[in-house]
Structure formats: C-alpha cells, structure tokens
Structure 1
Amino acid sequence: MSMLGPAMVEAVPSAALRPYATRLCAYREHYDSPVTRSEAAVPGAVLILAFGTPMEVGGERFTAFTGGLSDRFTVTRVTGPSEGVEVVLTPFGARRLFGVPMRHLTNLTMPVADLLGPWAEMAVDRLAGTPSWRERLALADRLLVARVHEGPSLDPAVTWAWGRLLRSGGQVSPSVLAESLGWSHRHLVARFQDQIGLPPKTASRVIRFGRALRMVRSGTAITRVAAECGFYDQAHMNREFRGLGDTTPGQIRPRPDGERRAS
C-alpha cells in the first residue's frame, strides 16, 4: 500500500556539477486530494525530470518541465501520483544546459523536450528505470554533467558579478558592478539578460528575498531581517515577500508550540 504525502531524498551535487546546480532531490508525491502550492522565486532555474501524473504549473499541465529565472512566485497543483528528480540549476548551469540566451526563458515554463530534444526523453526513461533513489540521483548528476559540458562557454565577467551579488545578499548596486567591470549600465544589463535572464537590479531582489526567507525561517526577528537584508522598512519587505513568495514574513516565522498566528 502506498503512503500518502510527499517523500524525498537529497544529494549534494558532485564537484563537476556544483558550479551548475545547487540542489538535487529525488521525490515522490501522492495525496488523497489535489494540492495547490505557491512556489517562491529562487535565484536559479528549476528542472523537473518527472514521470507519472502531470503537474499543473501556472494553469498548464507538464510532466518533465523547466524554464528560466522568475521575478514572481509560481502556482502549482498536484492532482495525482508523481515522482522524479528536481534540480535547481544556477543561471550558468541553465545557460550551458539549454544553450539559449536566458532572456528567452524568463518567467516561462515549458516541457524539457522543447529545449533539450531527445535527451529529455532519454533522461526521464533512464531515471524511471532506476528504482533506487540514491542511484537515481547519481545518474541524474552524471547525465547533467555530460550535457552541461557540451554547452556554450560562459562570460567570466558575468560569473564574477553574479558571485559578488550572491556574497552580498543582493546588496551590491548595478552601478557599482558596472563600474567595477568598466562597462556601461546598458552593457551590464544586456550581459545579465543573456547569461542569467534577469537584469541585475531584479536579480538582486530575488537574491535578497532568498536570504530574507532563510533568515525568517530560522527564527530571526523580522525587524532584524529587514535591516540586515537592506529593505527600506518592514512594509517594503512585506511587499517583496508577497510578490516573490505569495506570503508574508509573519505567515512563515517559526512560532513556539501553542502560540497562535494573528488572523
């Protein structure tokens, strides 16, 4: 008898994949009724190599699907049993894997086969035929490494700028990045949209939101999160949480047992 609910196993990407992926997760979902979720924006591209019942994403149905970076939350709906491997690609992993300018994929979801052709069906078939979740994750890692290394080379200046944004929690301004690189603002935006899919200011918002989300989930006081992450005030942080995560800091802040949420 199958167990209702979600189950998952994570693996750390191999050294060869680590520059291109931040998360590998084998999962299975089976609920007794449809489940609707709001998936928060992340500073990466989500790749789902799944089999089973298609998932509804933004009102459309997909089995194996992917897309580019987003500057908004995405509504998904699980209507039947499904399993597979979820991969969160770095922007550069997505750029090399898909081989197209990332601006063409911003805020889009599409079947994996539309971008990767026969490779997508081969990968899903091999994963479906691998019953051990650990072996399934190792296989996904090997397949992705081989495919990514066939992709186009990256712009080292953009990888440097992206790394600086990540290390700062999204608090380095585009003007500082452009000045450091000796580029005009227009050129910086164009290179970000090609390699990452979002302009630097928007990418900074997503990175800052991700840092704030982790801090709130860890129990950090909301006023401290707002100050340390560079929001103008708590109202500004609330607006960003609603737009990028369909939630508010108060809705996700850990609370001691017995403490009620404000209605």
Structure 2
Amino acid sequence: MFYYRQYYPSIQLADIIECYWVLRAPNSFMDVPDRLIPGGRVELIFNFGDPADWLITADNPHGTRVSEPVIMGQRNQIFYVKSTGKIRMLGIRFKPGGLASFTNLPISDLLNMLLPAEQLLGKAVKSLEMRLSDYSDDDKQIQLLDAILKTELKNTPVDLLVVNQTIDMLRNSRDDISIDTICQQTGWYYKKLERIFLKNVGYTPKHYHKILRFNKAVRYMRTTNTLTDVCHVCNYFDQAHFIRDFRLFTGTTPSQFKKEDNKIADFLIKYQSV
C-alpha cells in the first residue's frame, strides 16, 4: 500500500526546514523509472527499505544505487528514480537556503548531485540513522529527528533573511516581478544578491525564478486544460516559451506529461508548496 505523509518542523526550525516526509510503498510502486522534477529544494533522505537507483538519465540509464543516507541537491534538469524493492524512506526537505544553516559548503556545489550525507554532514549522520532505525513508529522518528536538528543548528545565516525576503516577493507578487525590480525596491545590488543565492540556494536568483514559475505552472495545469490560461496566469511570454521551459524541466511536453503516470511528481505537486 502506498503511503506518503508530511510533518511540520518545530518553530525553531520553521525558517529552514519545509517539512519532514515519510514514504512507504510496495515492490511494484516504482519498478520502472519515475520522473523527478526540479523543485528548488535540497533534501536529506534516509532509506530504511531496499536500495534505490537515483539520478537516472538517458546518459546514465542505471543511475546511482544507494541505500545509505544521501543529500539530494537542488536540480535544474530532469532525473528519474527507480526502486529495487520495498520503499521505506524518511526525508528532510529544506527550504531554499535552509541547508546553509548546517554546512559551510556553497549550495551551488550540490546542483544535480547526489552525495553520501556523511560526506557533507559528518559521521553523526550514521549515528543518527542507527538511532532512527530503532523506531518503527513514524511520529517517534520525526520527534527524534527534530530534536537532534535543533541541537545541531548553527546560527541562522544573515544571508537567509535576504533569501527569504526575495523568495517571498517572487511568490507573492501578482505580476511577474523581475529580479531587477526587486533590486530596485530593496536597494540590493544584483551581483551581491546573485552571490548570496548561489552560496545559500544553489541557483542564481533569475534561474530560481524560472524554476518557481515552472512549478506554479505545473500545478495550475491540474485545474485547466488550456495552455493559454497557464501562460497567462504564470506570465509566460507565449506557449512556445512555456513549452521550452517545460521540456527543460520534465523532458517532455505538457500534453504528454498529463497522460503519463508520474507518481512522485503527482504527489509532490499535490502536497508540496511552490
């Protein structure tokens, strides 16, 4: 039986962690490669089930098979994932810029990467995995994870305030506010904002804006059948512009995407905010 649930972090972590999530599924759930679309986040994933093949592409059809805890970096291209058996995963989905509170590594170094979590966060990750495996109850695992992260939290980077303010302006603008306009309104220099975003979010502000707009569009597609409406609401110049971005981030056209069985994309579109 397929099961997916998200949990909110404690108030101390709410600015840096979007959610914790649990995924359980039988052998047949992802026995063929399933599409991962870019969402602009970094995730720490613990695997208590069978190994999974991550980051499958046309050039790398077997992907990277792992069972250890991994950091899945932010992405700007299409990847696929495939299970080798039963799925039982526990994940931390960081808000854009959130992982920077736990590491000094520039997040731009994680673009389209899958790394052993121990390589980035140290040997404590293995100890944490063992402690989590002592519990079969999801709630107890989440409580333990949240408590440990609070003790490991460094001082919130000052840059995170700039990141959050920029993202809020992009998300909440009724019109398609440009990064240049944000710089004019706030007095920030674009080059400085770009350095802050690359270090903390892993994209330039303009590329993050592109991914944000795509995610708005792919969600709006669930409520309308016309690309004209999608382009208008999400401020694409025309359908050709939208389809070009859509192909870049999904590997297919909007019409074909709606016909296909995109298990992971479908429940993330349903449960994950833009």
Give the TM interval when normalised to the shorter protein: 0.7 to 0.9
Runs of 4+ with deviation above 6 angstroms: none
Secondary structure at 2:46 match in 1: strand
Supply the distance in 1 between the matched residues of 2:128 and 2:102 (Cα, whole angstroms). Answer: 13
Residue segments in structure 2 that go unaligned for 5+ positions in a row: 56-62, 260-274
- Equivalent in the alignment of 2:50: 53
Supply the distance in 1 between the matched residues of 2:130 and 2:112 (Cα, whole angstroms). Answer: 27
Give 1:25's match in structure 2, choosing from 9, 15, 21: 21
Letter in 2 for 1:20: I
Verify: 1:42 aligned to 2:34, yes or no: no
Supply the distance in 2 between the matched residues of 1:103 and 1:39 (Cα, whole angstroms). Answer: 19
Number of matched pairs: 249
Secondary structure at 1:217 match in 2: coil
- Equivalent in the alignment of 2:181: 176
After TM superposition, list the pairs within 5 Å mapping 1:85-234 onto structure 2: 85-147=90-152, 149-150=153-154, 153-155=157-159, 156-168=161-173, 171-219=176-224, 221-234=226-239
Q: Deviations over 1:107-128 (max 9, x none)?
A: 2111111111122112221222
Letter in 2 for 1:31: N
Supply the distance in 1 between the matched residues of 2:97 and 2:224 (Cα, whole angstroms). Answer: 32
Residue segments in structure 1 that go unaligned for 5+ positions in a row: 255-263
**C-alpha contact (below 8 Å) 1:43/1:69 kept by paired residues:** yes
Distance 1:223 1:104, change over 3 A: same
**C-alpha contact (below 8 Å) 1:84/1:128 kept by paired residues:** no
Supply the distance in 1 between the matched residues of 2:163 and 2:170 (Cα, whole angstroms). Answer: 10
**C-alpha contact (below 8 Å) 1:28/1:83 kept by paired residues:** yes
Verify: 1:237 aligned to 2:242, yes or no: yes
Secondary structure at 2:97 match in 1: helix
Supply the distance in 1 between the matched residues of 2:8 and 2:225 (Cα, whole angstroms). Answer: 26
What TM-score results when the alignment is normalised by the length of structure 2?
0.81
Secondary structure at 1:153 match in 2: coil
Cα deviation for residue 21 of structure 1 reads: 1.9
Letter in 2 for 1:150: K
- Equivalent in the alignment of 2:78: 73
Distance 1:236 1:25, change over 3 A: same
Q: Deviations over 1:200-222 (max 9, x none)?
A: 11000111111111111244643
**C-alpha contact (below 8 Å) 2:163/2:197 kept by paired residues:** yes
Verify: 1:7 aligned to 2:42, yes or no: no
**C-alpha contact (below 8 Å) 1:130/1:136 kept by paired residues:** yes
Supply the distance in 1 between the matched residues of 2:174 and 2:184 (Cα, whole angstroms). Answer: 19
Cα deviation for residue 99 of structure 1 reads: 3.0
- What's the % identity of the aligned pairs? 24
